[in-house]
A and B are shown apart, each in its own frame.
Chain A
Amino acid sequence: MTELKLVPQNTANGPVAAAVLACGFGCFALGALAVAADGSKRLATALNFYNPTGPLSGVATVAIALWLVCWALLAARWRNKSLAFAKVSALAFLFLALGLLLTFPPFGDLVLGR
């Protein structure tokens, strides 16, 4: 007979909310930094962490760092909580959609007024 492996069931949605919101925020940060670096030579120079790759190296590194830090902070704060998940989802998806849109060059140019 097959044995069922029982594990403690933590149905609190806080940790998932933290992961989803942090991911959306990280994607938004990526798009926002990409547009900002495109519009500012000073920022592009500051984000040039690895010269052969150019400002892309800094944009990706900072966005990933923001994503992971945000994830760790929210996960610690919401560890055993159940949140109004619809609101968190809406905000996370808005961040994600904006991030996706900001990577689209014509939209970035529009934001920069070109």
Chain B
Amino acid sequence: MELTQRELVTMIHGMLFGGFFLLALFGTFVLLLDQSNPDAASAQPAPRWQTIYLIAMVALGWAAVLSGATIIYPWYRAVAPAGADLALYPKYLLTAHPSTAGWHNFGMEWKEYVAWIAPMAGTMVAWVLLKHRAAWNAHRAVRTIVLGFAAVAFLAAAIAGGWGAMINKRAPAEGGQSIQLMGSAR
């Protein structure tokens, strides 16, 4: 059982960083809902676990977009030389046929930009919860807009992650050194 280096890095980008970021964003949204009716106890600074959780959420979001934009996307959009095996050039593999071109022209074109909204909004949400708990508790309007931004961050991450998974199924990033995970079955 083996994987190529590009498959492994794509898995880390999508399933570890992206997948856990999406889960963490959903958890943050639930946390925000739980604290949207503040009482005396919630006027305290954020508990340590929430601080660690929110910082991890933000780190996962930035790791997902930065690894996607600087490592995976260059593999995806690399220009295929004449006569090359298009399986190694996902963008060209998809755009070579009208029946698959939409995965790039619509899916990837949307994903590559919308993805950035998620960590930007997620960072702002985490910062308000960690640094401005008093304003969060004092103003209903603050709670409403922060919840709205958290919902949009989740939507943006879900769009990017969903398209990424579907595009990778249609035209996976192949190539690089093979990595043996387990001995071959006999």
Contacts and interface: CB of A to CB of B under 8 A. Distances in A.
Interface of A: 4-5, 7, 9-13, 15-16, 19-20, 22-24, 26-27, 30-31, 34, 50, 52-54, 56-57, 59-60, 63-64, 67, 85-86, 89, 92-93, 96-97, 99-100, 103-106
Q: A7, A11, A15, A85: which has the most chain B beta carbons within 10 Å?
A: A11
Interface residues of B, number: 43
Interface string B133-145: 0111111011011
Contacts of A5: 44-45
Interface in B88-139: 105-106, 109-110, 112-114, 116-117, 120-121, 123-124, 127-128, 131-132, 134-139
B135 A11 contact: yes
28 contacts: A10-B135, A11-B135, A13-B139, A13-B142, A16-B132, A19-B124, A19-B128, A19-B132, A20-B146, A22-B124, A23-B121, A23-B149, A31-B113, A50-B70, A52-B70, A56-B113, A57-B69, A57-B70, A85-B141, A89-B141, A92-B149, A96-B121, A96-B148, A96-B152, A97-B152, A103-B110, A103-B117, A105-B105
